[in-house]
Each structure stands twice: as C-alpha cells, then as structure tokens.
Amino acid sequence: SQQDEIVSGLRERVVRRLQAIREPLDRRLRDGSKKRPLGHEQLSQQEREGIRSGLLCGSRSRAGIKRAFPRSGVLEYVEGRASVAGMECERSDRGVVCCRPLASTISMVSTEHPAYWKMLSRFMDYEPGSFRCFPSLIIAGAQKCGSTALTGYLLHHPGIRFARHKELHYFDKNESLCLGSLFYLAQFPARGEFLTAEATPFYLADPRACARIHAQLPWAKLVVVVREPISRARSEYAMKNRRVDAQGDFATALATTETSARLLECLVSAGPRNTSRGLAGCAPRSLRESTKFPLFRASVMKQLRAARADDRKLFFEDFLRECFEPLDDGSKLDVGVASRVFQGNNPPPYSTRFRIRACFPEGVRERLSGEFGDVMRREISQLNACASRNFEWGVVPETPDHAATLVDTCVKVHTGITIQYVYRGLYAAQIARCARSVDKNNLVVIESDDLRNTPQRELDRVAKALGIRPFSYDPRIFQTDNLQRAIRDKYPTFENSGWQLTTTYQAPLDPTLRAELLAFFKPHNLLFFGLAGRHFPRWLDDRHHPGRS
C-alpha cells in the first residue's frame, strides 16, 4: 500500500544515512575503548548529525563532554529487528498480544554490548526468565484532554495492565529510544492473562512518534482523546502556571543560606554512594515537601551519574564545590563540612548558597510567556504568517492533509508543556499526520465530554477496537474521588509535575478572546469532524463551557 511504500522509502533513506554515519564511528570504536569519552569538538560532523537526528546515542556529562555510540534502540527500529527477535504474537479474546523473552535478550545484550548494557541496567527492574509484552494499546493523545481519566478507568479492566509509569515518552524522546526495545519492554509487567498498555499523550503532537510506533508495533491500537481546543489550551496553561509557581517556591526555599547549608551538610554526610537515599532522608523539609523535589533529586543524580564509576568520589567533591557558593554571612555551616568542601578559601567560608541556575537549570527554566490571551494570539499570528508565506490556500487549510503540511512546515514541535497551546489543539492536522503511517483502523478517537458523561460507552469502544470482551465497569469507579484514588495508587508521583485531575478556574474566559479563538479553530475543528465522521456542535458554540473554561 502507499503507506508501506512511504515507510519502506523512509527506512531505506535512514539506513543509507546510518551507514554513512556508522562507518567512521565503527572505525573509531575499533581503534579505541568503546566507552572513550569524546569531547564535543572532537565529534565529527557526521557524528554530531547522527546525534541530532537521533541515529546515534549522545550523552552529555557535566563537563560538557559527549559520548557517541551506535544506538541499539535506533538500530533495532531502523532495521526492524525490535519486533522480531524471539517474539511470539497471538490473537485471542484478549486481543493481539506480542511478547518477547526478556532474559535471553538480556544475556545477548550484556555480552555483546557491555557499555550499552551498563547504561540500560540502571533503568531496569526485571525477573529473569520472564516474557514481556509490547503494548497493544497506546493512549497517544492529546494532552490535557482526559488521557489520565481514561487510564484511571482502564486500570480496572482485568484484561489490561499498564506500564509502570504514565508517560513513558519512548517513541518521542531520542534518549529513550536510544535505550532500545529492551528498556521499553522492561516497563511492562511479566506476561500474563492480559494485554499491556501505556499512555503518553505527547505522542500525537510529536511528528515522528506515530511512524515509529507503526514500525515497531504495527498491531497496536492508538487511542486519541480530544477536547474542545480552547478548553484544552486553557487547561494546559493552568497546569504550566502551577508548575511555574511550584518552581518559584522551590527556588526561593533553596536560595536561603539556611536551606543551602543544611542541604550541603546532608550531601556531605550521604556521600557519593548514597546520595539519592541520603537526599530523600536528610534534605531540609522545605525542599522535601515541594513538588519540585523529585525533579531536583533526579537532576543531582543525573549530574553525578555522568561521572565514571572510578572517579565518582572526586566528581562528587567537584560537584559540591561547583554548586555551593561559599559565603561569609548568612546561616552558619558546620565547620567540618565547610573546611572539607571549601578548603583553600580565604577567609574560610562559614555559610553557603546553592547555585540554582548552574546546578538545577531545569528547575528554574519554565516560564509563562505572558497572559493566556497573549500567548494564544501570538501563536496564532505566527502560524498565520507562516501559512500565508508558504501556501497558496493561505491561512485556512482546506483538507486535513493541508493542515498536516501546515504544522509540518510551520510548527517546530517541542517536548514538554511549552508554548504550543494552539498547535496541540489542531487535531485534524495531527491525526492526519499520524494516519500517514498508522492504519486508520488502528486509531480510535474519543471525545473528552463523552468520556466524562458516558464513560462505559467509550470504554466499550476501546474494548471493541482491541478485540477484547466488553467489560462492565462498576459505576462507582467513575466517581471523581474513586478515579483520583485509582490514579494516585498507580502513579503516586504523577501530581508532582503540576498535574491535577481537574483545574478550578478563577474566572470564565474573556468573551472577546473566546470569540477570536472560536473563529480561528473553527475550520480546523470542521476538518477534524470530517476525519472523525462525527460533529461536535458544542465545539463551535460560543456558549459552550461557560463555567468550566
């Protein structure tokens, strides 16, 4: 079919590029140690390109050094090996389930690629001998439309098990893909009387994820939850707002010399080998209780892990010296700790402040770039300017394919909750792009209000698409409190990212802004209705959602 041709054409192009990149790299690897760190400036143009395009793994250490090595994950993907090595697929009333033995793959990987295995084993938790099953169901989008509610409901289905974490981001992040399908498989439970599922609502927005999913998991069903785009955007903005607030509070707490001093004492007593557990146990309470703390802890660990095992102690000491500014006023630091970390300074420092910008940049970089109306208007005007420059049909796409080309040309997609509040509500564009690789029969679209109002009916649609027996849910699980509980039990840290089951909005949206946004989204919504084969009149209605959004 045309889709297959596109995929195989793409694959050929990628393989050719890959060969061009691999040859010099293989030579270098033969010449030197497999793990030889390469200074960024030492990377060849091709290697740099390989890292950029995601064909090679590149990791950055604190010293700015990059390592490049062939990415097992991407090799699997490009060569189509991931899906076949030892895989067993079966179709039953449990749907289509494809599994692979984890243990034999592990022994192969650990002997053939020790460096890769070393990196991989850090992320893995597995029982030897078990088969793991790739997901047959992926909740692929869209963000802020109710994907977590849908996950929370499906958690009660006896024939479905979800991955350990919500939002694996395997198909959209080069670093995850880099770890390969073994890493991905390890996120799912050992084979049992169920199919497996994962939910990463960013997949729909990512320009490459659908093609990657199709190449690795051609049997998987993708469920896309959509929502009236203005409410969606507002929900995303509200979540970002919560994150920025939490970030400000964390930075303020960290900036006090008292907190910084206690943190440094805590790190010194935990030492290089026990840093993570130590931080969880002895970091000042004002930090530990913040929703930003897990990110902070992960960031410290990531920086420390960049050090090679043999020089970890040295690296740890360097980290402390670089990240804690010596001061001579403020909250006093334990004398022993001060002289150990800041030895050589004159006069001897007795207090300190954590250098948050240098040492925890991810904790302070999120910003709101204006009021909701400003960011929406700015994004729309940039999109319109780009569209009128590039397309004879101007700013209003006439077909879903036009809409897909519009976003391909005019939107540089960013991960995370960034400034793409408008783009992520252009469902026709994103679904049409996804359908270039994923078979339409494998795409199930659910509308957010329908999910809220008639959940059993929507869950039956998912079961039907998966080819599994319908399941009658206890209606109590649809109550908000129970839904919240189910989500918290499964994903206890999910709310740390600023996510909440529902947002309380302070005021309704300004009517003028609402009218402008409705007018902008209308043609995109109509294209989406055409694709979905359903009309959602509430999306076009000015009176819709006066209270909720």
Which of residues 240 and 353 has its CB atom nearest to ligand PPS in the complex?
A: 240
Q: Nearest residue to ligand PPS, using CB?
A: 146
Which of residues 105 and 448 has its CB atom nearest to ligand PPS in the complex?
A: 448
CA dihedral 314, 315, 317, 320 (to 10 degrees): 180
Residue type, 12: E
Which of residues 196 and 448 has its CB atom nearest to ligand PPS in the complex?
A: 448
Which of residues 144 and 212 has its CB atom nearest to ligand PPS in the complex?
A: 144
Q: Could you count the other beta carbons within 10 Å of the beta carbon of residue 506?
A: 6
**Cis amide bond preceding 135, omega within 30:** no
Report whether 476 contacts 146 (CB < 8 A): no
Which of residues 149 and 253 has its CB atom nearest to ligand PPS in the complex?
A: 149
Cα diameter, the chain: 75
Closest contact distance (angstroms) between CB of 235 and ligand PPS is 3
b/e map 88-98, b = 16+ CB within 10 Å: eeeeeebbbbb
Which of residues 369 and 453 has its CB atom nearest to ligand PPS in the complex?
A: 453
Report whether 247 contacts 368 (CB < 8 A): no
Closest contact distance (angstroms) between CB of 27 and ligand PPS is 44
Closest contact distance (angstroms) between CB of 370 and ligand PPS is 20
Footprint of ligand PPS (CB under 6 A): 143-149, 201, 231, 235, 238, 448, 451-452, 499, 501-503
Helix (H) / strand (E) containing 27:
helix 2-31
Find all residues with CB under 8 Å of 528, minimum gap 6, and list them: 226, 400, 427, 428, 431
DSSP helix/strand/coil, 326: strand
Q: Quick one: tokens of 477?
A: 């699980």
Q: What share of the chain is helix, strand, coil (3-state, %, to 5)?
A: 55, 10, 35
Which of residues 118 and 414 has its CB atom nearest to ligand PPS in the complex?
A: 414
Report whether 68 contacts 28 (CB < 8 A): no
Which of residues 313 and 534 has its CB atom nearest to ligand PPS in the complex?
A: 534
Report whether 406 contacts 397 (CB < 8 A): yes
Closest contact distance (angstroms) between CB of 451 and ligand PPS is 4
Closest contact distance (angstroms) between CB of 228 and ligand PPS is 10
Closest contact distance (angstroms) between CB of 147 and ligand PPS is 4
Q: Quick one: tokens of 316?
A: 């740890």
Q: Could you count the other beta carbons within 10 Å of the beta carbon of residue 185?
A: 24
The Cα 315–Cα 178 span in angstroms is 26
Report whether 117 contacts 69 (CB < 8 A): no
Closest contact distance (angstroms) between CB of 414 and ligand PPS is 15
Closest contact distance (angstroms) between CB of 500 and ligand PPS is 7
b/e map 110-129, b = 16+ CB within 10 Å: eeebeebbebbbeeeeeeee
Which of residues 135 and 272 has its CB atom nearest to ligand PPS in the complex?
A: 135
Which of residues 215 and 459 has its CB atom nearest to ligand PPS in the complex?
A: 459
Closest contact distance (angstroms) between CB of 238 and ligand PPS is 6
Report whether 536 contacts 447 (CB < 8 A): yes
Closest contact distance (angstroms) between CB of 294 and ligand PPS is 16
